[in-house]
A and B are shown apart, each in its own frame.
Chain A
């Protein structure tokens, strides 16, 4: 359905500031705007989700004591006055009743009064009405407020309501792409762990069917994803894993990725460093500092060894109870 496609998903309504404000619409528009098919009671003016409105008008018709008809700038609408009836007030204190009566007197509206109403739109017997959450009589004998409003509305319309709301560009497409990348990274991680892979080339991963389906853009599946796009998606996912320290690159071999968890050499080396250096007098009491270990690993294993990778190795060793932490960042062997 093309019409339903136009409607912005309700999750994103909050991004539109109009959604949270009391929209000052012409009454004519309130009567004509389209109701949302997702959430009844929400209306759309020019793709802006409208939850609540704010109108100023003259009362031209009063019915029954609990509801009023009011005039907006251009048309009419019904406004229900939540009645402060005395039903059920039997047990109430006499003073309270007096207070209510006085209040009702003050709130009593007559034809010709100018009132300002804030509320939400309700469809009642296929007629729209505004249920007031807040309303008050406006003392405006000089028409100042009404004139101000008449001048305000065109300005507001031109600058806010008539500008269609669109989801910010950075939230639309890249969110899908980045979601796909992080999903792919997650799957690669699982794949590496399950198959106990020690190192791999990117093209090896690209030949794994289960990973490839994730990397493909479902939107452009009709035309077919170019290999270049798939390649870059994999590249991004691997970069993500590099950042997390799950894989690393060693020395000059930039196309081979080592899997941190399965690199026995690195684990062994780290353990040895902690063992050997822990025997030294200097480290005997507290154990080796993490930065000291890192420096040693850089010297003997790989000058580009990163902090996160070694943290992962040390964490794994600690999990295996090969080493223990004496205090924060200090490690010692049993």
Chain B
């Protein structure tokens, strides 16, 4: 079986609980902590004057060279118990990427797909 499609979700959207558990997501953030013994890392991102934190389980992607303070793109399934945890299947460093432009691209893509599904419903 193929793994499910990953949809881009921003870190703040995941943290706010908008995204249901079990979905496959792609998100990015700054690596702020990494606990090798627990295989757990934290991605942090500032959005609208608030700091958002997301716990990431790194069991599947170890070993990886963790550079604290660098930006990472994570892809995996979301587990929601009390607090969302991203079970990462992919974790890549994306230092130097134009994140503002990236965000714009994601929004553009959403806008297009939304517009299309609305047009489909309309007809």
Query: What residues of chain A have their CB less than 8 Å away from a CB belonging to chain B?
Result: 27-28, 58, 60-61, 69, 71, 73-78, 111-112, 141-144, 147, 150-151, 153-154, 157-158, 162
> How far is B90's CA from A76's CA once the two chains are assembled, in angstroms?
15
Are A69 and B96 CB-contacts (below 8 A) given A60-B89, A147-B101? no
Would B2 and A69 count as touching, CB distance under 8 A? Answer: yes
Partner of B94, one of A69, A142, A150: A142
Asked if B105 lies at the interface with its beta carbon under 8 angstroms from chain A, I say yes
Are A143 and B102 CB-contacts (below 8 A) given A60-B75, A111-B89? yes
> How far is B7's CA from A75's CA once the two chains are assembled, in angstroms?
8
- Can you identify 14 A-B contacts, CB atoms within 8 angstroms? A27-B5, A60-B6, A61-B3, A75-B5, A76-B2, A76-B3, A78-B2, A141-B95, A143-B102, A147-B97, A147-B105, A151-B104, A154-B111, A157-B112
Q: Which residues of A contact B108 (CB under 8 A)?
A: 150-151, 154
> How far is B116's CA from A162's CA once the two chains are assembled, in angstroms?
9
Instruction: For residue B12, give the distance in angstroms from its CB to the closest CB of chain A.
Output: 19
Would B2 and A111 count as touching, CB distance under 8 A? Answer: no
Would B112 and A71 count as touching, CB distance under 8 A? Answer: no
Would B96 and A141 count as touching, CB distance under 8 A? Answer: yes
Instruction: For residue A24, give the distance in angstroms from its CB to the closest CB of chain B.
Output: 13
> How far is B92's CA from A142's CA once the two chains are assembled, in angstroms?
11
Would B98 and A150 count as touching, CB distance under 8 A? Answer: no
Are A153 and B75 CB-contacts (below 8 A) given A60-B3, A78-B2, A143-B94? no
Asked if B4 lies at the interface with its beta carbon under 8 angstroms from chain A, I say yes
Q: Which residues of A contact B95 (CB under 8 A)?
A: 141
Asked if B93 lies at the interface with its beta carbon under 8 angstroms from chain A, I say yes
Would A74 and B7 count as touching, CB distance under 8 A? Answer: yes
Asked if B39 lies at the interface with its beta carbon under 8 angstroms from chain A, I say no
Q: Which residue of B lies closest to A76 (CB)?
A: B2
Q: Which residues of A contact B113 (CB under 8 A)?
A: 74
Which residues from 78 to 109 on chain B have a C-beta closer than 8 Å to any C-beta of chain A? 89-90, 92-98, 101-102, 104-106, 108-109
> How far is B116's CA from A157's CA once the two chains are assembled, in angstroms?
10
Are A153 and B90 CB-contacts (below 8 A) given A28-B5, A58-B75? no
Partner of A69, one of B3, B102, B116: B3
> How far is B76's CA from A174's CA once the two chains are assembled, in angstroms?
57
Q: Which residue of A lies closest to B93 (CB)?
A: A141
Instruction: For residue A47, give the distance in angstroms from its CB to the closest CB of chain B.
Output: 15
Size class of the B contact interface (CB-based, 8 Å): 20 to 34
Would A151 and B105 count as touching, CB distance under 8 A? Answer: yes
Partner of B4, one of A76, A150, A151: A76
Instruction: For residue B29, give the distance in angstroms from its CB to the closest CB of chain A.
Output: 14
Q: Which residues of B contact A78 (CB under 8 A)?
A: 2
Partner of A71, one of B6, B93, B116: B6
Q: Which residues of A contact B90 (CB under 8 A)?
A: 58, 60, 111-112
Q: Which residues of B contact A142 (CB under 8 A)?
A: 94, 96-98
Q: Which residue of A lies closest to B101 (CB)?
A: A147
Q: Which residue of A lies closest to B110 (CB)?
A: A154
Would B98 and A154 count as touching, CB distance under 8 A? Answer: no
Which residues from 1 to 31 on chain B have a C-beta closer than 8 Å to any C-beta of chain A? 2-7
Instruction: For residue B65, give the distance in angstroms from its CB to the closest CB of chain A.
Output: 13
Would B94 and A76 count as touching, CB distance under 8 A? Answer: no
Q: Which residues of A contact B2 (CB under 8 A)?
A: 61, 69, 76-78
Instruction: For residue B120, give the distance in angstroms from its CB to the closest CB of chain A.
Output: 11
Of the candidates B3, B4, B6, B89, the one having the most CB atoms from chain A within 10 angstroms of its own CB is: B6
Contacts A142-B98, A154-B108, A157-B112 known; list 16 others, CB within 8 Å.
Answer: A28-B5, A58-B75, A60-B90, A71-B75, A76-B3, A111-B89, A111-B90, A141-B96, A141-B97, A142-B96, A143-B94, A143-B102, A144-B97, A147-B102, A150-B105, A151-B104
